[in-house]
Amino acid sequence: MARARTVYECENCGAQAPKWSGQCMDCGAWNTLSEAVIAPAATPASARAAKGRGSAQYAGASSGVVNLSDVRGREAARTGTGLGELDRVLGGGLVAGSAVLIGGDPGIGKSTLLLQACARLAREEGVLYVTGEESLEQVRLRAERLEVGETSLRLVAETCVERIIATAETEKPRVLIVDSIQTIFSEAVQSAPGAVGQLRESAAQLVRFAKQTGTAVFLVGHVTKEGVIAGPRVLEHMVDTVLYFENDAGSRYRVIRAVKNRFGAVNELGVFAMDDVGLKEVRNPSAIFLSGHQSDVSGSAVMVAREGSRPLLVEVQALVDATQTHNPRRVALGLDQNRLSMLLAVMHRHGGIAMGDQDVFINVVGGLKVEETAADLPLLLAALSSFRDRPLPPGLVVFGEVGLSGEVRPVYNGEERLNEAAKHGFRQAIVPRANAPRKPPEGMAVTPVRRLSDAIDAILR
Ligand code: TYD
Ligand code: MG
């Protein structure tokens, strides 16, 4: 039988080296190698699992070769968690046997959300909550604060993954929560909890347990300073669904985004508000990302974003100010920084507006991250509005992608976006020509634009 062997594993990228060195040969990071012991593998399948490569090994035993059309699919059984917004990001409820990773900054509300969801789930199903960070009393106090009421939620304080799985095998819960994966260790690996090798081995064992028993497993993961779940990305490929909390430090809204989902749409958003009795669902979040100015101000444009499967009205703010240094600053919060530089170059070249001697700051209200290109045109118009110190017309919404040759390209679901804006009282819209509907929504004037210069003319008229 094979013997256990010692390797050195990079905490940053997960690469393995036979010898210790000061710098990782793969990613170049310094001082990130730590010792890990790879346990002997009992079967070829578990050997592959221990290495953590690929994910097919989690699907079960070897099947033999069959025709795809002969495989009988089963509609995944889903359970509602009682929190509609959480069900939404999960793709319509929790799937039996799925592994879900929930990531976010410390203190953002991961434990709160799971405790709320699980206390409700436990009324109908067996739920086991493993706490590796907090004591049982702390969890109890939080449950009282959250007013979850009588619940048959089962609780255990444990950090050894082998013992967690043994406990789960006797308890037989339908849902298992591990809070957090960074505190869990496996006896098969000798590095400290939180090290890449530990994370990978513990998560692999829990995911295998989920697949073999049909238990839904939630793994909580803290995000590091760099914004990735510690043990960078090594957990993401193992699990079925990855949910991240994203939000502004100061905001009371919490936005959860599905960045990977084998059972639903990605980029789906769930919106919650944190108050003194925990997280409350925001069922109609359309208008919470607007700052609600009393009077018209310059440097603000409202767009209709479509993150996931619903349209959201989002305010993009810009501040353009004469720079005090040789290097003008370009800062974008909630939008892509490189795209901002590119768009400013397009505005210079094709719109004749130079901001080379200006600092440009862009912010999306409410801490939302907008990833779609539909934000291009509102971003530029907000910047222009601030630069000229002229508010955009009241009740205006804008969306559209801007190309490198100054053309305004259409975005998908244009009509739905316009209808959403009309529903919230917006009376004017600047949209790509191809998105202009034959019959605009009632009470709304739609200005179709083909080029960036058309849009600039439309607002500076
Ligand atoms: P928590 O769920 O412990 O965060 P995580 O598990 O992601 O580290 O969230 C704790 C924060 O939420 C803490 O800063 C206090 C706040 N909070 C409320 O505002 N209201 C509440 O009812 C609860 C339970 C927490
Ligand atoms: Mg926590």
**Are the C-beta atoms of 425 and 368 separated by less than 8 Å?**
no
Burial of 301 (0-12, 13-18, 19+ CB in 10 A): buried
Condensed to tens digits (0 to 9), the pLDDT of residues 26-35 reads 888 888 887 7
Give the Cα separation of 345 and 273 in Å (integer).
38
**Are the C-beta atoms of 432 and 449 separated by less than 8 Å?**
yes
Q: Which of the four pLDDT bands, split at 50, 70 and 90, describes residue 7?
A: confident
Domain edges within the chain: 1-40, 48-54+76-283, 300-460
Q: Which residues, listed in sequence order, are joined to residue 359 by a DSSP beta bridge?
A: 321
Ligand 1 is surrounded, with C-beta below 6 A, by: 104, 106-112, 142, 145-146, 274, 276-278
Give the Cα separation of 320 and 316 in Å (integer).
13
Of 107, 367, 109, 111, whose CA–CA distance to 251 is shortest? 367
Q: At what angle do helices 452-460 and 376-388 cross, to 10 degrees?
A: 40
Residue 188 has pLDDT above 50, yes or no: yes
Mean pLDDT of 368-384: 93
Residue 411 has pLDDT above 80, yes or no: yes
Residue 1 has pLDDT above 70, yes or no: no
- State which ligand 1 atom lies nearest to the alpha carbon of 278: 22
**Are the C-beta atoms of 210 and 99 separated by less than 8 Å?**
yes
**Are the C-beta atoms of 24 and 13 separated by less than 8 Å?**
yes
C-alpha R_g of the chain = 25
Q: Which of the four pLDDT bands, split at 50, 70 and 90, describes residue 460?
A: confident
Please provide residue 99's backbone torsions phi and psi, each rounded to the nearest 5 degrees: -115, 125
Please provide residue 439's backbone torsions phi and psi, each rounded to the nearest 5 degrees: -125, 105
What integer pLDDT is reported at residue 409 of this predicted model? 96
Residue 222 has pLDDT above 80, yes or no: yes
What integer pLDDT is reported at residue 232 of this predicted model? 47
Q: Which of the four pLDDT bands, split at 50, 70 and 90, describes residue 351?
A: very high
The tokens of 313 are what? Answer: 């009205």
The tokens of 23 are what? Answer: 């710098």
What integer pLDDT is reported at residue 57 of this predicted model? 43
> Given this structure, which CATH class describes domain 300-460?
alpha beta
Mean pLDDT of 172-187: 92
State the CB neighbour count (10 A cutoff) for residue 319.
17
How much of the chain exceeds pLDDT 90, in percent?
51
What integer pLDDT is reported at residue 215 of this predicted model? 93
Mean pLDDT of 397-426: 93
Q: Which of the four pLDDT bands, split at 50, 70 and 90, describes residue 433?
A: very high
236 alpha carbon to ligand 2 midpoint, in Å? 19
210 alpha carbon to ligand 2 midpoint, in Å? 22
Atom 24 of ligand 1 has which residue's CA nearest to it?
A: 278
Condensed to tens digits (0 to 9), the pLDDT of residues 268-318 reads 889 898 888 889 988 878 777 777 766 788 999 999 998 877 888 999 999
Mean pLDDT of 121-140: 92
Of 295, 316, 297, 320, whose CA–CA distance to 392 is shortest? 297
120 alpha carbon to ligand 2 midpoint, in Å? 18
Q: Is the peptide bond before 180 cis (omega within 30 degrees of 0)?
A: yes
Burial of 1 (0-12, 13-18, 19+ CB in 10 A): exposed
Atom 17 of ligand 1 has which residue's CA nearest to it?
A: 278
Ligand closest to Cα of 104 equals 1
Fold classified for 48-54+76-283: Rossmann fold (3.40.50)
Provide CB contacts within 8 A for 48, sequence distance 6+. Answer: 54, 57
Which helix or strand (DSSP H or E) is residue 99 part of? strand 99-104
Ligand closest to Cα of 280 equals 1
Of 301, 326, 329, whose CA–CA distance to 315 is shortest? 301
Residue 229 has pLDDT above 60, yes or no: no
Mean pLDDT of 250-270: 86
Q: Is the pTM of this model over 0.90?
A: no
The tokens of 269 are what? Answer: 């958003």
Q: What is the pLDDT of the chain when averaged over all its residues? A: 86
List the end-to-end C-alpha distance of the chain, in Å, as a whole number: 81
Residue 174 has pLDDT above 80, yes or no: yes
What integer pLDDT is reported at residue 367 of this predicted model? 80
The tokens of 424 are what? Answer: 């919230």
Q: Which of the four pLDDT bands, split at 50, 70 and 90, describes residue 56?
A: very low
Give the Cα separation of 22 and 28 in Å (integer).
10
Token pair 């801490």 in the structure block, residue: 367
Q: Which of the four pLDDT bands, split at 50, 70 and 90, describes residue 40?
A: low
Condensed to tens digits (0 to 9), the pLDDT of residues 61-110 reads 677 788 888 877 666 678 888 899 999 999 989 999 999 999 888 888 99
Q: Which of the four pLDDT bands, split at 50, 70 and 90, describes residue 230?
A: low
